[in-house]
């Protein structure tokens, strides 16, 4: 069995969570636009924990591909908001 560091598992879990949120947001945007306009900001608000996650990865000495992903997500959330 391959054992991964906890930060990699955290990265993978957050990535799946965010992708599910994006899928739900874009589905709601198509079928119920008023609902998306009301609660769509929550998807962009997930970029704030991503900034914290990026700092944790940087402190753990992870490669740049790991800590740069949440940092880019934070920038995207800022533009989207």
> Where residue 2 falls among pLDDT bands split at 50, 70, 90?
low
Entry pTM: 0.74
Helix (H, G, I), strand (E, B) or coil at 32: coil
The dihedral through the CA atoms of 9, 15, 16, 21 has a sign that is positive
Helices 47-59 and 64-80 sit at what angle, rounded to 10 degrees?
160
Mean per-residue pLDDT over the chain, rounded: 84
| CA 23 to centroid of chain Cα atoms | 12
């Amino acid at each position: 069995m391959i054992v991964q560091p906890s930060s990699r598992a955290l990265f993978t879990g957050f990535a799946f969570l965010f992708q599910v949120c994006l899928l739900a947001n874009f589905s709601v945007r198509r079928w119920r636009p008023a609902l998306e306009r009301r609660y769509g900001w929550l998807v962009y608000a997930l970029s704030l924990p991503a900034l914290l996650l990026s700092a944790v990865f940087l402190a753990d000495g992870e490669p740049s591909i790991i800590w740069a992903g949440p940092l880019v997500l934070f920038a995207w959330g800022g533009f989207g908001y």
